[in-house]
Structure 1
Amino acid sequence: MSMAAAVDVKGWCPGVLRPMQSGDGLIARVRPWCGAFGLDEARGLADTAQRFGNGHIDLTRRANLQIRGLSETSVLGLQDAMERLGLVDRDAEVEAGRNIMVSPLTGLDPAEVDVRPVARTLASLLARDAALYDLPSKFGFLVDGGGTVSIAQERADISLKALGQTMAVGLDTPAGTDWIGSTSFDDAARAAVAIARAFVGLAREGGRVRDLGEERFGQLRAVARKGLGPVGDGVSSKPKRLIGVGRLVVGVAAPFGRLEAPQLHRFAALAEEVGATDIRLSPWRALYVGARDDAAAQALMKGAHEIGLIVEASDPILRIDACPGAPACRSSSVDTRRIARRLAASAFTGSVHVSGCAKGCARSAPAALVLVGEQGRYNVIRNGTTRDVPERSVAAEEAGALLDVR
C-alpha cells in the first residue's frame, strides 16, 4: 500500500489516511476493528501519539480514537506506524466508510450475544462495495449485542441489535431509531449494506438517513423492510452505562474524553496485569476491559484512579460534555474545559454541554445547561442543544454569571 499524507484543511471525520487540520495541528482518527484495540495496539497508539503528535488522545462519540498535534511531516510516520499495527485500511475511501460502532462488552458479558462476527462481515462488505463510497462522511452503523451495557440508543444511520435468535434492524429518524424489522445473524450485515446502497440512490447531497424527509424516508423504509421479519420485544429497552466493576468487567472514563499518551500506555499495562486481552471503546468515552476475578478488577480500578481516570459513576465530570475548545480547535474562541471543570466543582447537578462553537461536536442530545462559545463569549441555553436560541450571552471571564444556573 502506498502511504501518503492527504491533508484536508476542513472535514468531518479525519482518518489516518486523510487527516484534518485543527488548532493544534493535524488530527488523525483511528478506527478500531470490532470496537476494540489489542493491548499491543494500544501501546503502539500511545507511543505513536507521543512520538509523532503532541501526546493528546481524544476518545470520540463514535467510539474511535483521535491522535492530535500532527504535522504534515510527522503524519507520514504515524501512517507507517499504523500500517505496522494493522490499523490502516487499503485506501481513504474504505477507511472513511468503516464507521461501525460495536457494543463494548460483546464477547465479555455472558448475557450478551457476541456480535463481532456480524461487525467483521459488515466491515468486509463495506470495503468491497465501491457504490458505498458515495455515502456521507458521517454515515454510521451500529451493531449491538443486546446486553445491559448497550449502545442501541446511540444514533446511527443503520442499527443492528441482537434480540434472542435474530437481529433487529433500525433506521435513524429525527425522533430516534425506527426498528423496522428483524433478520438472522447470518443475513444482518448484508441487510445493512443493502439498505445503505438504497440510501445512496435516494439521498440528497450531504444528507443522512434522518434528513431524507417523509417521502424519501418512506421509500427507503419500504425497500429496507423487504425480507425482514417482525421485531420482538425488548428492542427499545433503556441501556445502562457501566463505570466501575460489573461481572468481571471494568469500565473507566477519561475526563472529557481526553487521554494523554502515558495514561494509555499505563492503562494497557494495567489491563494486561488483570488478564485482559484488549481495550474496548464506547460512544460515551469510557474504556472497558475484562478481568480474571474480582480482586483483579478492584486492582485495575485502583490503578486507573491513580493515573487520573474516572472510576466512579458519581463523578460530576461525567455529567459534563466539553469539546477540546481553544486553542486546540480552530473553530473555538473559548477554553471550554477550564469552565467545564469549574462547573463540575459547582453545586449544579444537571447535565452540561460546553461547546466551543455551534457545531456541538461533543454532544448532540439536549442538556440542562448548554454554553456555546462565540467570539470569546458564551451563549447560554437551557434544556436544549447548541442549535437552539440562547437566552443570553456572557463574557468567558464572568465566572459568577456562568455558574449562576439556578
Structure 2
Amino acid sequence: MKHAAVFEVKGWCPGALKPMQSGDGLIVRVRPRCGMFKPDEMLVLAEAARRFGNGHIDLTRRANLQIRGVGEESLLGLQHVIAGLGLLDPAPEAEAVRNLMVSPLAGIDPTEVLDVRGIARELAQLLTSEHALWALPSKFCFIIDGCGTLTLADERADIRIAAIRDGANPSVAIGLDTQAGIDWLGSVSAAAAATAATETASAFLAVVSNVKRQRMRAVPAEGLASIRSAMRSRLNPLELDQRKTQRSSDRHVGLRDLGAGRFAVGVAAPFGRVETAQLEKLAGEMAAFGVEEVRLSPWRILYAEVVGALTGNAVLDAARSVDLITDPDDPLLRVEACPGAPACRSTSLDTRGDARRLAALSSRFGFEGTIHVSGCAKGCAKSAAADLVLVGAESKYGIVRNGTAQECPAGSASFAELAADPGTIFAEGRRYD
C-alpha cells in the first residue's frame, strides 16, 4: 500500500487569532488559562459554537478546546466572545507560543508534590510578553507536571517542568524532549521555574536553524550540549533519579476518590468530539452542583473537583444522559480517530464512524489494545504508537501493528472488507491484499 501524498502538513496549530481552514470551515482553537475553564465560560463557548460555528467542539490532545465550522463572516463575532472571557491573546504570535499542558488535578490532588498552577500562570505571562520567545516554533510545547495521581509523565513536550522532592522542600526538574528520552538538565526552586523554562527556550533558539518547523527532539547532539552548557550555571545538579519519581498515568473516568476527603470526576467524549448540547448539559449541571473549575487534559477527558461522592455521581449521571463516557471500561476510550470526511480535506473516509464500529468489534473479539484510525498518514489524532493502526489512503485502510500512521502498511482493503473478516484486523501477523 502506498501512502498517497494528498495531504498537507501545515506545521502549525490553529488559534483564535489565526484559525485554520478545514473541510467544514475554520477551526478556532481556544487555549485555556492554566489548563481550566469555569463552567460558565464553557456555557458561553458552547453557545458561541452554535452561533458562530457548526456546533461541533473538539477537545484536543494538547488540552485545548476547538470550535469547528466557523465562517469567515462569523470569525470576528466569535473573537469578541473569546476576548470577553479574557482568553484572547494580544497577538497571533503570542497565542501561537502559549502551548502549555498542566496537571489536570493541580491544586486538587492531595498526593501531588507541588501545586504547579502558579508556575503555569507565570510561564504563560512570560511567553506572551517576551517578544523574543515568539520565534519559537508554533508547536513548541511546555509540560508543567505536579507529579500527582494524574501525572503527565507519558506525554511529550519540548520542555518539561516536573515537581520533585529533592531535600526538605519541593523543587522542580527541568528536562528536554530528545530522541533518547527526557534529558534532565537540573533542578530549580518553584519560584524560579518559569524563568528557567523560558531561559531554556531561549537557549534552544540560539542553537537551531529553520526554527519554524524544528522541535527539541530534532536538535542534534552538539546542539543539546550547547543548551546544557547554557543552563548549567542557572540550575542545581539533579541528585535523585527523576525517572523514579514518576507515578502511573491512570487516565481515569468516572468518580475518583483522591483521599483526604476530596473527590473528582472524569468525563470523556468519544474521540474528543463534544456537541454544543452535550457541553451545555454537562457545564450546566456542574455549575448547579457547585463545580468551580473544569480541567482539560491531553487525553480528551474533562476533570472537575466535586464536594462529595453523591454530587460526583449526579454529575456523572448528567454526562451519561447526553452520551458522554463515564465508564472506565468503555472500549471507545482505547480508540483514537481523526475527524475524517467531510470535516477534513485529506481523506474521503468516515474515520470516526469506522472507529465506532471497530470499537464494537474489538469488544466482541476480546482485543484490549489501543487503536488508532487515521484518514491519512499525518496521524493527527495520535502521534504515538498504537497496538493497532488503520491508516487510510485512496478510500481504503492499511493495517499497522505496534506502530504509527506514518509507517507503511503491507496492503489495503475497504473497511467493509476488513469488517467482514474481523480476524484480518485482530489476528497478529495476518496479511491482507
On whether the aligned pair clears a TM of 0.5, the verdict is yes
Answering whether residue 331 of structure 2 is matched by residue 324 of structure 1, we say no
Superposed counterparts of 1:90-101, under 5 Å: 90-101=90-101
Give yes or no for contact 2:123–2:198 (8 Å, CA) kept in 1.
yes
Q: Partners of 1:143 and 1:266 in 2: how far apart?
A: 30
From 183, 186, 195, the counterpart of 2:191: 186
Answering whether residue 173 of structure 2 is matched by residue 168 of structure 1, we say yes
Deviations 1:76-103 (A, max 9, x none): 1111111111110111111111001111
Q: 1:401 to 1:228 in 2, by over 3 A?
A: farther
1:401 Cα offset (Å): 4.8
Mean Cα deviation higher: 170-179 or 59-68: 170-179
Q: What is the letter of the counterpart of residue 152 of structure 1?
A: A
Q: Partners of 1:44 and 1:98 in 2: how far apart?
A: 22
Q: Partners of 2:134 and 2:102 in 1: how far apart?
A: 21
Q: Partners of 1:280 and 1:49 in 2: how far apart?
A: 19
Q: Partners of 2:184 and 2:63 in 1: how far apart?
A: 22
Q: Partners of 2:75 and 2:423 in 1: how far apart?
A: 40
Q: What is the letter of the counterpart of residue 254 of structure 2?
A: G
2:234 matched residue in structure 1:
227
2:420 matched residue in structure 1:
400
Q: What is the letter of the counterpart of residue 211 of structure 1?
A: A
1:301 Cα offset (Å): 1.4
From 358, 363, 366, the counterpart of 2:377: 358
From 234, 242, 254, the counterpart of 1:244: 254
Answering whether residue 213 of structure 2 is matched by residue 209 of structure 1, we say no
1:403 Cα offset (Å): 6.0
TM-score (normalised: structure 1): 0.95
2:158 matched residue in structure 1:
157
Deviations 1:39-79 (A, max 9, x none): 12111110000100000000111000110001100111111
Q: What is the letter of the counterpart of residue 210 of structure 1?
A: R
1:10 Cα offset (Å): 5.2
Q: 1:367 to 1:10 in 2, by over 3 A?
A: closer
Q: 1:38 to 1:202 in 2, by over 3 A?
A: same
Q: RCO (CA 8 Å, sep 6+): is it higher in 1 or 2? A: 2
- Alignment partner of 1:394: what SS? coil
1:339 Cα offset (Å): 1.0
Answering whether residue 275 of structure 2 is matched by residue 268 of structure 1, we say no
Give yes or no for contact 1:275–1:290 (8 Å, CA) kept in 2.
no
Superposed counterparts of 1:119-158, under 5 Å: 119-158=120-159
1:349 Cα offset (Å): 2.2
Deviations 1:227-277 (A, max 9, x none): 222333543433222211112100111111000011111111121232211
Give yes or no for contact 2:372–2:382 (8 Å, CA) kept in 1.
yes
Q: 1:397 to 1:194 in 2, by over 3 A?
A: same
Deviations 1:357-376 (A, max 9, x none): 11111111111111111121
Structure 2 residue ranges without an equivalent (≥5): 1-8, 428-433
TM-score (normalised: structure 2): 0.89
Q: Partners of 1:218 and 1:354 in 2: how far apart?
A: 38
- Alignment partner of 2:234: what SS? coil
Give yes or no for contact 2:264–2:304 (8 Å, CA) kept in 1.
yes
- Alignment partner of 2:265: what SS? strand
Mean Cα deviation higher: 66-75 or 218-227: 218-227
Deviations 1:265-322 (A, max 9, x none): 1111121232211110000000001101111011111111111111111110011110
Aligned residue-pair number: 398
1:221 Cα offset (Å): 2.5
1:5 matched residue in structure 2:
none
2:205 matched residue in structure 1:
200
Q: Partners of 1:389 and 1:291 in 2: how far apart?
A: 46
- Alignment partner of 2:267: what SS? strand
Give yes or no for contact 2:40–2:287 (8 Å, CA) kept in 1.
no
Deviations 1:150-182 (A, max 9, x none): 113210000101113101111001233222211
Give yes or no for contact 1:343–1:403 (8 Å, CA) kept in 2.
no
1:367 matched residue in structure 2:
386
Deviations 1:99-128 (A, max 9, x none): 011110001112222211100100111111
Structure 1 residue ranges without an equivalent (≥5): 1-8
Q: Partners of 1:223 and 1:236 in 2: how far apart?
A: 27
RMSD: 1.5
